[in-house]
Structures are given as C-alpha cells and as structure tokens.
Amino acid sequence: MRWLMGLVILLVLAPPAGAAEQELELSVGGRTTLATLRTPASMGPDTPLVVMTHGTLAHKDMEVVQGVAKALEQRGIASLAHTLSLGLDRRKGMYECGARHDYVVDDAVVEIGAWVARARGMSRLVFAFGHSRGSNQVARYLAASETPPVAGAVLLAPLTARAEADLRASYAKTYGKPLEPFLELATKAVAAGRGGEWMDVPGFIYCRNAVVTARALASFYGPDAGQDTAALVARVNLPVLVLAATKDTVVPDVAAAFASLAGASRGRVQLDKIEDADHFFRDLFAEDVADRIAEFIKQTR
C-alpha cells in the first residue's frame, strides 16, 4: 500500500502530459533579461498567459513565483515569469547585497512592458501579475499606458504607501544613521546631472553598507506618489484582482489599503483574502492563489 500511495502522490504532482517549460531571453535597454515560459498541454492562441513579476531584489525562480506558475499550469493557464535586470546582464538568483546598485524604479516598468509585448505574440489573452514590490511596478506600468495593454492584472500582497513610509521611517533604527542627509545629497546630485555618482550609504532597501548611485537612492527613497499602489490601480481601466494574506507581516495593510477602492469600483477591482497565508504563500497557499486567479480569468474572458 505504501508504494501505491507514493504513486498517487507522484501522479498528482506530475505536470500534465505535453506541458512544457522553456527558458527565454529578451534584450531590453542593452541588457539580456531572462524568463521562464510554462505552458499547459493544450497551449494555443486563446490560452490565458500570465506575465509574472517578482518582488524586491528577487527573481523568477523564487518559491512564490514558481509555486503559483506551476499551479496555474495545472489549471490550463500559461505563465511567463521574468527576472528584472536591476542593472545587470543575465541576472539570476537574488540580488547580491555586495554588488553595487545602479537601477531605478522605472527600469522595471520598461522591462515589464517588453515581456508583455513578447507574451502578446503568444496569446490573445495576456494578464499581468506582480508579487509585493512587483505588484507596485506592474501597477506603474499599467497606469502609464493610455490603453490597457493586458486583459487584467493580479496583485499578490502588493506593496502599499504605508509600507514604503514605514521603510523610510525605520531607516535610522535599522541602519544606525538617519536617511535624510544621504537622500539630500543624492537628490542634489541627480538635479545637477550627476545621477550616476556613487555613494556609500549605511543601507539600501535590505542591504547593509551598500554602494549605490545617487539616482538609485533618490528613486527608492525620495518622494514619489507612485509608491501608493492603490492610487495607481484607481487610474487603471481594466479588471484587477488584489490578493491579501491574513498573516502578512511584511505588508500587513493590503486589505485596508484597497478596501475603499474595491467597494467603489463596482467590481472592477476585486479584493480577496487568503486565510492563514503569509507574505510568501508557501506550499498549498500557492494552490489557493492559483484558484483565485483561474476564477478571475474565467470572469474576465
């Protein structure tokens, strides 16, 4: 019986016959960016395809992205998970804190747009997906488009204005020195056309004792209305599904940030909570996420 149970588990976890996984490359801004395309057995022009953007300093193969992508495949939905370059060529894995940081928020917007364009050559029904900071970057991309470039968007544990404010407010406590003097120097350097000037700072995002360009520091820590993901979504004229984790300690106010927008949007913006999940939706919570996405796509088609 034990061997039979093992066989049953293997069959459940195995991908559908004919399903495929392919590594893709795309040149954006002179750098080669990487992505993984996962397609179900019945892939065709009408198969939904979800372009997936990861969170802060992460990558396409992180657990939450892979878990959701594989679960979508089992539901007949294709995915294209890409790694943001963050200023590097053929970047793989987590961004190493020891490396120098020279990238700005809007770099991601350009790369998301390039991969969406690639996806639209494979499917007539393309959706954008973002996790954490990736959700904010997806929302920036959509808000910057005059016409909706995708059929809909899914924001998983999206970064909120409060979370960004808390990150700035806790800088001195986290890194031992106040942010303001460094941000002032960076802002002045950018205004003077010296955005590529290197700075040694106590910390940058999650990295201690970082070396960053003035433009990178100003982009991530300077005043920016675009850090309010809910406000960006309010400007977007397409269906959006927002998924909040009830045990999220990284961005704990997702539901509160989107509640009024969801209530006033007449169904255009849907807010759903996944009970007991944390910020990374591990294990079976990825299945719950895929179920909600599949239902959202079904409603949108």
CATH, residue 67:
3.40.50.1820
Same domain, 148 and 282: yes
* Average pLDDT rounded to a whole number, residues 217-241: 96
Same domain, 189 and 85: no
Structure confidence at residue 13 (pLDDT): 42
- Structural domain includes residue 2: no
CB under 8 A, 24+ apart: contacts of 244-247? 244/157, 244/271, 244/272, 244/273, 244/274, 245/157, 245/273, 245/274, 245/277, 245/278, 245/279, 245/281, 245/285, 246/273, 246/274, 246/275, 246/276, 246/277, 247/276, 247/277, 247/278
The length of the chain, given as a count of residues? 301
> In this predicted model, what pLDDT tens digit does every residue of 9-54 receive, in sequence order?
333 344 444 678 999 999 999 999 999 999 999 899 999 999 999 9
Structure confidence at residue 15 (pLDDT): 45
Number of domains, the chain: 2
- Structural domain includes residue 251: yes
Residue 279 has pLDDT above 80, yes or no: yes
- Structural domain includes residue 173: yes
Query: Cβ atoms within 10 A of the Cβ of 161, count?
Result: 18
Q: Running DSSP on this structure, what letter comes out for residue 151?
A: S
Cα–Cα dist 81/178, whole Å: 36
Same domain, 24 and 79: yes
Same domain, 79 and 149: yes
Q: Which of 31, 26, 84, 22 is nearest to 49 (CA)?
A: 22
Please provide the average confidence, as pLDDT, over all residues in the chain: 93
> In this predicted model, what pLDDT tens digit does every residue of 82-119 receive, in sequence order?
999 999 999 999 999 999 999 999 999 999 999 999 99
Residue 161 has pLDDT above 70, yes or no: yes
Query: Cβ atoms within 10 A of the Cβ of 223, count?
Result: 9
Same domain, 172 and 242: no
- Structural domain includes residue 9: no
Same domain, 120 and 44: yes
Quote the distance between the C-alpha of residue 74 and its chain's center: 21
Residue 275: Cβ-neighbour burial (10 angstroms; 0-12, 13-18, 19+): exposed
Same domain, 254 and 112: yes
Among the candidates 175, 197, 226, a domain finishes at: 226
- Structural domain includes residue 5: no
Q: What is the pLDDT confidence band of residue 192, given thresholds at 50, 70 and 90?
A: very high
Same domain, 217 and 233: no
Q: What is the pLDDT confidence band of residue 222, given thresholds at 50, 70 and 90?
A: very high
Same domain, 103 and 235: yes
Q: Which of 274, 203, 180, 182 is nearest to 57 (CA)?
A: 203
Give the global pTM: 0.92
Q: Which residue range forms the structural domain that includes residue 24?
A: 15-160+228-300
